[in-house]
Amino acid sequence: MRDCEYWKKTASSLLAILLIGGFLCAEGWAQLTPLHVGHASINSRMSPLWIAAKEGFFRKQGLDVKVVNVRGGTQATQALFGGGLDMAYSDPPGTIAAIAAGAPLVEVMATATVMPYYLVGAPAVKSLADLKGKRVGSSGLGLSASRMAIIVGLKRLGLDPDRDKITLVAAGTEPE
């Protein structure tokens, strides 16, 4: 009878230890969900993504995030549409254009309410009128954020690329 009691207590204790240990260590045993997150440029607006990845925020939430650098918003949108990325931290113009064309993508949010760009001219450019008939560069192709900023900026400054014969050229991505 005593042997039976001993084995019941021992089995109960082992079961309790396994259950409690399992609950306490469940985070370590949990399978992390893989997530490929693209970012379309290297600038300070991407810092929340990099900090969250570096400080382990995503792992604490059960995500195994791989941060992928993609050359520009248009390419990030293509990677999203093609399945190479699960989500992208990117400028919205390329994604919005794809959604308008019927792509099954969702634009969640924007982290900036202004477009922080400067219009910088060569030494020969002394006024806005000097831009007429000239080439103006922006980063990226298609609907990059800087290209959208230059189009909107020129119009706000009273210039129209078509009327004023201003040629917009893609000069590379933002870091370039």
**What is the predicted pLDDT for the residue at 140?**
65
List the 87-89 sheet strands across, edge first.
Answer: 63-69, 33-39, 87-89
Distance from the Cα of residue 47 to its chain's centroid: 10
**Quick one: CA torsion of 71, 50, 92, 95, rounded to 10 degrees?**
60
Query: Per the CATH hierarchy, to which homologous superfamily does domain 31-100 belong?
Result: Periplasmic binding protein-like II (3.40.190.10)
Every domain of the chain and the residues it spans: 31-100, 115-176
Whether 172 and 139 have beta carbons less than 8 Å apart is answered as yes
Choice among 28-32, 41-45, 54-58, 152-156 with the minimum mean pLDDT: 28-32
Region class of 33: left (phi > 0), else alpha (psi between -120 and 50), else beta: beta
pTM of the predicted protein model: 0.57
**Coil vs helix vs strand at 63:** strand
User: Which residue type sits at 169?
Assistant: V
pLDDT classification of 4: cutoffs 50, 70, 90: low
User: Which residue type sits at 40?
Assistant: A
**What is the predicted pLDDT for the residue at 36?**
92
| Token pair listed for 151 | 């189009």
Average pLDDT, the chain: 79
Position with higher pLDDT, 120 vs 19: 120
